A and B are shown apart, each in its own frame.
Chain A
Amino acid sequence: MRLILRSLIIIFAVMLLYAVQRINVMRLGYDIQDLKNEKKQLEQIHKSLLIEKAALTSAERIEKIATSYLEMKRPGDSQIVLVREGRNGEKGFISAKAAIEDKKTDSPLRIVKYFDWRL
């Protein structure tokens, strides 16, 4: 009888262990799924932000804001100073105003508010 009793206890313990493990696996499964969902949501947010950025940086929209709300003007050809590459191949940039000042000329160039797509 004792042998039967011990056997039953062992079987019960094994079953209990299996059930606990199974519950743990289930709980981990839920955790993994929650994290996957969170990752997916973050990816969706990232993607929607990229799409929003693409829509907001539309050339059409930028020009409309620049010319209508900010009252910017497109510079004429004579109002542009090209800044070329330096002697050692180093690329640099300075503002048109600074470039004129550096050159110390009496250039009739008038610095106006302007925009450049590449800025």
Chain B
Amino acid sequence: MSFFDTEKFHRSKWRRFNILMILMIAGFVAVIARLAHLQLFNGEALAMKAERQHQQIVNIEGERGVIFDRAMRELAVNLDMPSVYGDPSSMENPGDVARKISENVDISSKALAKRLDNDRQFVWIRRRMTPEAVKNIEAMNLKGIGFIPETKRFYPKKELIGHLLGFTDIDDHGIEGVERYYEKALHGKKGTILLERDARRRTVLTNTLLDPLKGDNLRLTIDEVIQHIMEKELAAAIDEHHAADGVGIVMDPYTGEVLAMAVCPRFNPNAPGQYTSEQWRNRAITDIYEPGSTFKIVTASGVLEEGLVSPNEIVHDGSGSMVYGGAVIHDPHPTNQPMTFKEVVAHSSNVGTAKISVMLGKERLYQYARRFGFGEKTGLDLPGEVAGIIRNPSTWSGRSLMTISIGQEVGVTPIQLITAMSAIANGGWLVRPHIVSEVIEGHGDVRPIKPELVRRVISKNTSRKMTEILKEAVGPAGTGQLAAVDGFSTAGKTGTAQKIDPETRRYSRNRFVSSFVGFVPADSPEIAILVVVNEPRGIAWGGSVAAPVFKRVAEQTLQYLHIESAGREQITVMAQNP
């Protein structure tokens, strides 16, 4: 009989088993007692502490809407650039954290340590970092360092359309241009997510508490290619004539859709800080200038609409100057031959225009200027537009009627002038120019911006007569002959306006604004184009400086839009299998 079979062994076994059981029960009781103690006396505080350690609520900005051109090419997009923040209250050694990440956040460790030396729960360390730098910091797995997904606005076309698009600030709020005007639509709405983290601060689960809403996308009326054509040709003209700056606009005269709006010199909206606020300004809508002879379209339309003259009626004897109201008006190139009304406009005769303005009278000239939209904002969907200046006739001097009839003593914006010319092109209607054609809402619904007719300015008959007259102005004898587009009938008007010399406060003899405004094809207009070149050196005639730009822009734009010219060879084909 071995020891293991003895009664002594069995008694000993049960005793040890009982001791073990008692110890285990005591252990369980101790654990339960501790749990009860924690739960009953410190439960609330500890639950909050655990929640703080394991859960984190993060606010996420809804992404800003994308801006497209009319062919859905991206003009303004968002780059993912997370921001890094610190929670100094949960850091064991803020100085050590600062030293480790200083290189990646590009802040000296001393400055960063100072920033983190407090017991706050949130301190921005760096906004909008590169994904590489974020990845480096993430790999360090530091306690008290967190990331917030953010985006940075990026304009992939760089300088192209910069003045029109504008830009945003660091908080993604529109500051200039379309970004500012459509801030409410473009800006997304904040969302909230709950992150559950483990003891090593790794994210275990993410729960969306409130979905962030993406801002609306915008589809512009602008066409990137036409914009490029205008910017390229305008810049070339400014360079060639050593001019100060320039503005060019291409517009659909029937709908008011702006196809291109160029301001030179350009600026890059990706780095607005490198330019002055003066350089951000969209001069096409914020700057006024004396239009000079391009304003004669108002005077001429007025006398035709009122039936005061007919196009072939002789209205001027061709003399080179006249005195009226104490002022002398000159023609730079007098013909010294009788001129018809049509020839007065085609040759841009100041004296002839002044004579017919007397027939119209100051009240009616003022009324026509207002009907064409001068002296009021066009209502274009861009911020900062000004109304221009046209004084009430009661304040006009004795010579104002004549000077205003030839485009002096009035201040207009380029957008007003092209809108006025569009009224002549489209049969007499003033249309409201616009930049955005569609708002594409976050959930996919498309809200089109419909063209808007403001009012009838002149009759269809007057519009047709004016078109014929303006075709003469671009004809072989007209001042705008260099604007004539091969294969297309072209209508337009030149302008060469003297600028006021700020020192003498009189018209300068060597500072001009050269311009040309017209439309093509004249008989079934597809596009209206305005070119304004400010202070060209040397030859400054609108017909020499701005008209060739009009021609080059029109040629390329018509080709791009596949618009048939009158004499072009055409072939009709059936569908071809590739």
Q: Footprint of B on A, CB under 8 Å?
A: 1, 4-5, 8, 26, 29-30, 32-33, 36, 44, 47-48, 50-51, 54-55, 57-60, 63, 74-75, 77-78, 80-88, 90-94, 99, 102-103, 107, 109, 117-118
Contact = CB atoms under 8 A, between A and B. Distances in A.
Contacts of A51: 74, 77, 79, 154, 156
A86 B574 CA distance: 4
Contacts of B573: 83-84, 86, 92-94, 99, 102
Given A54-B77, A85-B572, A94-B573, A36 B206 contact: yes
B73 A54 contact: yes
A65 to B, nearest CB: 13
Interface in B549-578: 555-556, 559-560, 562, 564-565, 568-576
B572 A87 contact: yes
Interface string B115-157: 0000000000000000100000000000000000000001011
B204 A33 contact: yes
Interface stretch (B20-28, B86-94, B292-300, B489-497): B20-28
Contacts of B487: 77
Given A74-B556, A81-B570, A82-B562, A117 B575 contact: no
B574 A83 contact: no
Nearest to B486: A77
B569 A109 contact: yes
Contacts of A30: 202, 204
A4 B21 CA distance: 9
B239 interface: no
Contacts of A107: 569
Contact of A94 (B225, B568, B576): B576
B73 A57 contact: yes
A54 B556 CA distance: 22
8 contacts: A5-B21, A50-B77, A58-B156, A59-B228, A60-B232, A63-B232, A82-B571, A92-B574
Contacts of B486: 77
Interface of B: 18, 21, 24-25, 28, 73-74, 77-80, 131, 154, 156-158, 160, 196, 198, 202-206, 224-225, 227-228, 231-232, 486-487, 555-556, 559-560, 562, 564-565, 568-576
Given A33-B202, A44-B131, A54-B157, 15 more contacts: A1-B21, A47-B78, A51-B77, A54-B74, A59-B225, A60-B157, A60-B231, A77-B486, A81-B570, A82-B569, A82-B571, A83-B571, A93-B573, A94-B573, A103-B571
Nearest to B77: A51
B423 to A, nearest CB: 29
A72 to B, nearest CB: 14
A50 B19 CA distance: 73
Contacts of A26: 198, 204
Contacts of A60: 157, 160, 228, 231-232
Candidate in B77, B202, B555, B575 with the most chain A CB atoms within 10 angstroms? B575
A116 B54 CA distance: 59
Contact of B569 (A1, A4, A81): A81
B327 to A, nearest CB: 46
Contacts of B196: 29
A68 to B, nearest CB: 13
Contacts of A118: 560, 562
B575 A82 contact: no
Nearest to B487: A77
The 9 closest A-B pairs by CB, nearest first: A90-B575, A54-B156, A59-B228, A86-B574, A92-B575, A29-B204, A54-B74, A55-B156, A84-B572
A44 B205 contact: no
A57 B74 CA distance: 10
Contacts of A103: 571
A77 B568 contact: yes
Nearest to B558: A77
B526 to A, nearest CB: 15
A102 to B, nearest CB: 7
Contacts of B203: 33
A51 B225 CA distance: 18
Contacts of A86: 572-575
Nearest to A37: B203
Contacts of A78: 568
A33 B25 CA distance: 41
B210 to A, nearest CB: 18
Candidate in B25, B80, B576 with the most chain A CB atoms within 10 angstroms? B576
A44 B157 CA distance: 20
Nearest to A117: B225
B323 to A, nearest CB: 48
Contact of A29 (B28, B205, B560): B205
B74 to A, nearest CB: 4
A59 B576 contact: no
A63 B565 CA distance: 24
Candidate in B204, B555, B568 with the most chain A CB atoms within 10 angstroms? B204
A70 to B, nearest CB: 17
B28 A92 contact: no
A31 B21 CA distance: 41
Nearest to A30: B204
B570 A55 contact: no
A77 B487 CA distance: 8
A58 B574 contact: no
B225 A47 contact: no
Contacts of B576: 92-94
Nearest to B224: A59
Contacts of A63: 228, 232
